[in-house]
């Protein structure tokens, strides 16, 4: 399904109102479109749909026009009238507002032809950016709840589970456990009362896959939950969603109410006799609550602390009952699998990694945003083909895959396939889908420190290796970035990393050392430079660099002197200036303001 | 009621074929069979928790290092409780703990009875190779006379939190903050009293280190200077097994041996802290009878005669209804039975009551 397919009516202007575009003013843009359409007297033929996220968040506010699929990035209020006037006049487009891959390149008219979109395969995001997430009819027109209907009318729970197993779908939350198998365990667990939980406690820095899916197409998740509930024999479900996702929470509540009203949730669903009720629980912002046992504790009203497994939630979960916990993205795949068949899903991807995976592509990449690609694509194709490579044509230095639990791949390994096993082999993980691209301006030691700071702060404190081990690792790596590294620090870090990985209670601690281990593995020389030469090649570690003024380039304009907050720069007017290394606080204000690029960080 | 005998499971631990009962944990089976596994967060009175990670073992066919305290035995299971890898991880865990522990063992009341000290000794750790920040400890507001809290020594085993919740059902303390700063505390860091603490001291009894100690016994005697005298608590008819810690003929603190008696190691506030009367100068050590306005020491026979004469006199002069009897919960059932019999037959009254009704 592409965003230029019509839902109802003929001409539709789709304005993205996902969090990213809304922050960039898309709500006002949508209002302006409606006003402009009314002004042009085109209310009968043109209509505005406020959609969820398209994924190309770096180019928002995004507007597409159906049925032709004309694509306008970065639509500001002043562009609205001209777009509408042209549309109403002859159905055409305003070419100067179209997307251009480079400033001097030819514009690309259609959404589907934009490189960012062309290589994607959208299953999870099939209706994202297309439908109005607050209008169930919009979703229904594009097949929402067809999967639930098919499951209830034609499949018994056992064959449904077999289908999901045969599809090869694995949990998209990070661990990659076979979804059908999890359903089988929960169905087979003894007990009358069972639960389905949707894990929407997305917490990786830079990851927003689950938020976007819920904000853009909440029905795909609810439908997946209802199908899962039917399969395992549950009548009650919870969506555990971060309270920091207010828009997702709001749209979820609207979607639940609308689905109940239409009979897709609640009593006697679609006349089948099957009942299923969904409740929303808002998480209070602890990363560890994404871990399933901590999440369950949190729903139960307890402190979100992981428990040792087994018993797994499939046998003893919420309130001690068998519970199936699936991630948002996993659930959003389900209806598609039921409708299109397990074979269709299994035909996408490779080996043990079937279907597609959504990634939040961020960092030093030209086109950042949300992308869904078939499993088995290379990381290079994703970063360069879809993301357009690094900004300003620089080479990408490394890609961090899997967020703070993942690992980083150096440039040389970008041909690694996006597959569970292939990524694990090189020290990264598919994870929940965070993908951060960095270039030579990023110090890999500092980069590892950043992720460790996050996991350290988010450790629940229950087990010793995670609570104290990550703290000591962070202290050592911080020392290294501050130029106080000592011989033996790298070995100490490696030892601690292994111990924390092996001895921690839950996935948080077991994976927290990954960024450190992979950066040491692939960029050991950077660590050594920091320790032995007190040198940071990226110039990112403030303690290891200082600013100098190139006397040949300096015109003595004194702009730097004016902006220096601590008076560390002196010099005669029209004479080359000098920076006092002692007084300089390395804020970088001088570099930012120098009109002649005469100041360098060395 | 007869219980069906537990299913017997056979398994191998360190190459030794062993039998266990279904439902037992690997740790329980090891301890029953004299196989040593270090623990810090384990207390048989509490649910398995798996936080300290010291009891890790290796199990054939199981990934990584599962904790023996949380792993139930299974037929044919093959467990290794000590290997160079396990020993190395355990050592590392203790080294990490020591790097965040206030090493004031010289004046710590738990010295000699401290699980961390024992484990560090066992591993021969003189000093942690890790140094760094120590967890922040909020200023306490405690002005109670019984429980000393020093969270700079806390190892976050969660035993105090869990015993307060699982055994006492009081939830006076819970975890506050998270990560490195996580610490057990009362809600809003209130004083224990304000948080509803009944001062049963169960938290003190389970604390494996010196973070929670008894105030009355502070600096009164080292563990190795005391003799442990098992007794029955005289406070009520439950008859809890207690263990008095005695130094130089004086009780300095009280505990309850784990797994012994009706209380299985648990005590209430009276049993744990209500022993100061034993050494009180005001304590009655012989019967006294008031003569000419003064209390005079007499023999038991004399004292009983005074009481009997007076009871008989009152009964005769004013009738049996003028006499009432109030028995003590400190007496046994049998003593209480005899007491009511005395009042009903010798005095002839039904005016009998018991302090446990209060």
Residue A2 pLDDT grade (very low, low, confident, very high; cuts 50, 70, 90)? very low
- Beta carbons of A211 and A198 less than 8 angstroms apart: no
Average pLDDT of span A495-516? 96
Angstrom distance (rounded) from CA A493 to CA B312: 86
Nearest to B248 by CA among B269, B267, B225: B225
Q: A463 contacts in B (CB within 8 Å)?
A: 50-53
Q: Which of residues 133-192 of B touch A (CB under 8 A)?
A: 133, 155-156, 158, 174-175, 177-182
More confident residue, A601 or A309: A309
For position B253, what pLDDT does the model report?
95
Each residue's pLDDT tens digit, A42-80: 988 999 999 999 888 888 899 999 888 999 999 999 999
Interchain pair B179, A457: CB under 8 A: yes
Each residue's pLDDT tens digit, A369-416: 999 999 999 999 999 999 999 877 788 999 999 989 999 999 999 999
Interchain pair A503, B92: CB under 8 A: yes
Angstrom distance (rounded) from CA A435 to CA A363: 8
Q: Does A460 touch chain B (CB under 8 A)?
A: yes
Angle at A199 between CA A198 and CA A204, to 5 degrees: 155
For position A260, what pLDDT does the model report?
97
Task: Indicate the pairing of strand A353-354 with strand B288-291.
Answer: unpaired
ipTM of the complex: 0.88
Q: Does A177 touch chain B (CB under 8 A)?
A: no
Which CATH architecture group holds B8-82?
A: Roll (3.10)
Residue A101 has pLDDT above 90, yes or no: no
User: Each residue's pLDDT tens digit in chain B (358 positions)?
Assistant: 556 777 999 999 999 999 999 999 999 999 999 999 999 999 999 999 999 999 999 999 999 999 999 999 999 999 999 999 999 999 999 999 999 999 999 999 999 999 999 999 999 999 999 999 999 887 666 789 999 999 999 999 999 999 999 999 999 999 998 889 999 999 998 999 999 999 999 999 999 999 999 999 999 999 999 999 999 998 887 889 999 999 999 999 999 999 999 999 999 999 999 998 889 999 888 999 999 999 999 999 999 999 999 999 999 999 999 999 999 887 888 999 999 999 999 999 999 998 876 5
* Burial class (CB within 10 angstroms; exposed 0-12, middle 13-18, buried 19+) of B170: middle
More confident residue, B239 or A298: A298
Interface mutation target, options B135, B179, B208, chain A, most CBs of A under 10 Å: B179
Taking the CA of residue B54 and the nearest CA in chain A, the distance in Å comes to: 9
Q: Does B269 touch chain A (CB under 8 A)?
A: no
* From the candidate CATH numbers 3.40.630.10, 3.30.70.920, 3.30.70.20, 3.40.309.10, the one assigned to the domain spanning B102-132+142-279: 3.30.70.20
Q: Does A464 touch chain B (CB under 8 A)?
A: yes
> In a 3-state reduction of DSSP, which class is residue B211?
coil
More confident residue, A29 or A588: A29
Residue A591 has pLDDT above 60, yes or no: yes
Taking the CA of residue B266 and the nearest CA in chain A, the distance in Å comes to: 25
For position A8, what pLDDT does the model report?
45
Interchain pair B89, A503: CB under 8 A: yes
For position A4, what pLDDT does the model report?
45
Taking the CA of residue B130 and the nearest CA in chain A, the distance in Å comes to: 7
The whole-angstrom distance between residue A263's C-alpha and the CA centroid of its chain comes to 32
B182 vs A461, A472, A496: nearest CB = A461
Q: Does A462 touch chain B (CB under 8 A)?
A: yes
Residue A590 has pLDDT above 70, yes or no: yes
What is the overall mean pLDDT for chain A?
A: 93
Interchain pair A471, B53: CB under 8 A: no
Interchain pair A459, B67: CB under 8 A: no
Interchain pair B51, A462: CB under 8 A: yes
Percent with pLDDT over 70 in chain A: 99
For position B2, what pLDDT does the model report?
59
For position A394, what pLDDT does the model report?
83
Q: Does A298 touch chain B (CB under 8 A)?
A: no
Residue A3 pLDDT grade (very low, low, confident, very high; cuts 50, 70, 90)? very low
Each residue's pLDDT tens digit, A268-293: 999 999 999 999 999 988 999 999 99
Taking the CA of residue A176 and the nearest CA in chain B, the distance in Å comes to: 16
Q: Say whether the peptide bond before residue A254 is cis (omega within 30 degrees of 0).
A: no
Residue of A nearest to B48 (CA): A308
For position B138, what pLDDT does the model report?
72
Residue A7 pLDDT grade (very low, low, confident, very high; cuts 50, 70, 90)? very low
If you write DSSP's letter for every residue of A182-247 in order, what string do you get?
HHHHHHHS--S--EEEEEE---STT--HHHHHHHH-HHHHHHHHHHHHHHHT-SEEEEEEETT-HH
Interchain pair B156, A469: CB under 8 A: no
For position A175, what pLDDT does the model report?
84
* Burial class (CB within 10 angstroms; exposed 0-12, middle 13-18, buried 19+) of B284: exposed
B93 vs A308, A456, A464: nearest CB = A464
Interface mutation target, options A293, A320, A467, chain B, most CBs of B under 10 Å: A467
B65 vs A288, A468, A502: nearest CB = A502
Angstrom distance (rounded) from CA A150 to CA A141: 16
Average pLDDT of span A24-36? 96
Q: Could you give all domains of chain A from N- to C-terminal order, each with its CATH number?
A: 11-114 (3.40.30.10), 136-344 (3.40.50.11540), 350-438 (3.10.20.600), 444-533 (1.20.1440.230), 546-601 (3.30.70.20)
Angstrom distance (rounded) from CA A352 to CA A419: 8
Taking the CA of residue B50 and the nearest CA in chain A, the distance in Å comes to: 6
* Burial class (CB within 10 angstroms; exposed 0-12, middle 13-18, buried 19+) of B212: buried
Residue span(s) of chain B under CATH 3.10.20.740 come to 8-82
Angstrom distance (rounded) from CA A213 to CA A403: 18
Nearest to A54 by CA among A32, A33, A75, A80: A75
Each residue's pLDDT tens digit, A517-545: 999 999 999 999 999 999 999 988 988 88
Q: B52 contacts in A (CB within 8 Å)?
A: 463-464
Residue span(s) of chain B under CATH 3.30.70.20 come to 102-132+142-279
Interchain pair A465, B92: CB under 8 A: yes
For position B213, what pLDDT does the model report?
95
Residue A237 has pLDDT above 50, yes or no: yes
The set of residues, in sequence order, having a beta carbon less than 8 Å from that of A344 and lying 6+ positions away, is A337
Taking the CA of residue A287 and the nearest CA in chain B, the distance in Å comes to: 11
Q: Where are the alpha helices (DSSP H) in A459-563?
A: 464, 470-481, 489-503, 507-511, 514-522, 524-528, 559-563
């Amino acid at each position: 399904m592409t965003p230029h397919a019509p839902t109802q009516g003929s001409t539709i202007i789709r304005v993205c109102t996902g969090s990213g575009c809304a922050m960039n003013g898309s709500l006002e843009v949508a209002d302006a479109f409606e006003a402009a359409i009314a002004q042009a007297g085109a209310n009968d033929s043109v209509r505005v749909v406020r959609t969820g996220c398209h994924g190309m968040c770096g180019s928002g506010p995004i507007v597409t026009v159906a049925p032709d699929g004309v694509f306008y990035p970065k639509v500001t209020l002043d562009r609205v009238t001209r777009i509408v006037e042209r549309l109403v006049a002859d159905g055409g487009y305003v070419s100067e507002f179209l997307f251009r891959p480079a400033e001097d390149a030819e514009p690309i008219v259609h959404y589907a032809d934009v490189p960012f979109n062309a290589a994607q395969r959208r299953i999870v995001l099939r209706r994202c950016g297309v439908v109005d997430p607050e209008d169930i009819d919009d979703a229904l027109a594009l097949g929402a709840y067809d999967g639930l209907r098919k499951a209830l009318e034609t499949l018994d729970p056992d064959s449904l589970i077999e289908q999901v197993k045969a599809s090869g779908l694995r949990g998209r939350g990070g661990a990659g456990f076979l979804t059908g198998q999890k359903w089988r365990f929960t169905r087979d667990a003894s007990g009358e009362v069972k639960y389905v939980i949707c894990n929407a406690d997305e917490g990786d820095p830079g990851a927003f896959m689950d938020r976007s899916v819920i904000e853009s197409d909440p029905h795909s998740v609810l439908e997946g939950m209802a199908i899962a509930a039917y399969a395992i024999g549950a009548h009650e479900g919870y969506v555990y969603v971060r309270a920091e996702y207010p828009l997702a929470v709001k749209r979820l509540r609207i979607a639940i109410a609308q689905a109940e009203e239409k009979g897709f949730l609640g009593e006697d669903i679609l006349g089948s006799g099957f009942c299923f009720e969904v409740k929303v629980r808002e998480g209070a912002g602890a990363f560890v609550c994404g871990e399933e046992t901590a999440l369950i504790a949190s729903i139960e009203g307890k402190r979100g602390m992981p428990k040792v497994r087994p018993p797994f939630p499939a046998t003893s979960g919420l309130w001690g009952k068998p519970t199936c916990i699936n991630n948002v993205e996993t659930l959003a795949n389900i209806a598609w699998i039921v409708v299109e068949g397990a074979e269709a899903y299994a035909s996408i991807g490779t080996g043990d990694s079937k279907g597609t995976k959504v990634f939040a592509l961020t960092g030093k990449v030209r086109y950042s945003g949300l992308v869904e690609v078939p499993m088995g694509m290379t990381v290079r194709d994703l970063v360069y083909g879809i993301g357009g490579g690094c900004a300003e044509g620089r080479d990408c230095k490394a890609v961090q895959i899997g967020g703070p639990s993942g690992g980083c791949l150096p440039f040389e390994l970008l041909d690694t396939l996006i597959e569970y096993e292939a990524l694990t082999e090189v020290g990264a993980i598919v994870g929940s889908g965070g993908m951060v691209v960095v270039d030579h301006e990023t110090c890999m030691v500092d980069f590892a420190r950043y992720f460790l700071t996050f996991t350290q702060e988010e450790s629940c404190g229950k087990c010793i290796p995670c609570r104290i081990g990550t703290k000591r690792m962070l202290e050592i790596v911080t020392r290294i970035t501050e130029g106080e590294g000592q011989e033996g620090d790298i070995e100490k870090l490696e030892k601690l990393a292994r111990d924390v990985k092996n001895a921690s209670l839950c996935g948080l601690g077991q994976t927290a050392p990954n960024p450190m281990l992979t950066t040491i593995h692939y960029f050991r020389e950077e660590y050594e430079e920091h320790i032995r030469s007190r040198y940071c090649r990226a110039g990112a570690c403030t303690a290891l660099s200082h600013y100098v003024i190139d006397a040949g380039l300096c015109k003595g304009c004194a702009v730097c002197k004016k902006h220096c907050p601590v008076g560390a720069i002196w010099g005669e007017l029209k004479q080359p200036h000098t920076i006092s290394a002692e007084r300089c606080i390395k804020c970088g204000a001088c570099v930012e303001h120098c009109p002649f690029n005469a100041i360098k960080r060395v | 009621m007869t219980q069906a005998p537990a299913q017997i499971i056979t398994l191998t631990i360190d190459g030794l074929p062993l039998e266990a009962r279904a439902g037992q944990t690997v740790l329980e089976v090891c301890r029953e069979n004299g196989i040593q596994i270090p623990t810090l967060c384990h207390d048989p009175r509490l649910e398995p928790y798996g936080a300290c990670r010291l009891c890790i073992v290796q199990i054939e066919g199981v990934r990584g290092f599962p904790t023996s305290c949380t792993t139930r035995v299974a037929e044919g299971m093959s467990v290794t409780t000590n290997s160079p890898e396990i020993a190395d991880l355990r050592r590392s865990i203790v080294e990490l703990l020591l790097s965040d522990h206030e090493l004031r063992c010289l004046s710590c009341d738990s010295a000699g009875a401290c699980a961390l000290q024992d484990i560090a000794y066992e591993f021969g750790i003189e000093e942690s190779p890790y140094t760094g920040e120590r967890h922040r400890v909020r200023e306490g507001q405690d002005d109670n006379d019984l429980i000393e809290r020093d969270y700079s020594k806390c190892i976050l085993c969660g035993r105090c939190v869990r015993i307060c919740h699982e055994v006492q059902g009081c939830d006076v303390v819970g975890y506050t903050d998270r990560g490195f700063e996580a610490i057990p505390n009362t809600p809003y860091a209130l004083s224990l009293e304000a948080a509803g603490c009944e001062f049963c001291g169960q938290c003190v009894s389970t604390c494996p280190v010196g973070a929670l100690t008894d105030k009355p016994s502070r600096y009164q005697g080292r563990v190795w200077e005391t003799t442990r005298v098992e007794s029955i608590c005289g406070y009520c008819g439950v008859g809890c097994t207690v263990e008095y810690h005695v130094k130089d003929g004086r009780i300095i603190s009280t505990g309850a041996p784990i797994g012994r008696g009706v209380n299985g190691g648990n005590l209430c506030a009276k049993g744990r802290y209500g022993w100061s009367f034993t050494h009180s100068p005001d304590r009655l050590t012989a019967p006294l009878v008031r003569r000419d306005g003064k209390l005079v020491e007499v023999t038991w026979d004399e004292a009983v005669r005074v009481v009997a004469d007076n009871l008989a006199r009152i009964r005769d002069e004013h009738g049996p209804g003028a006499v009432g009897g109030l028995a003590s919960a400190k007496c046994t059932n049998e003593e209480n039975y005899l007491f009511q019999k005395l009042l009903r037959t010798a005095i002839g009254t039904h005016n009998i009551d018991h302090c446990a009704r209060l």
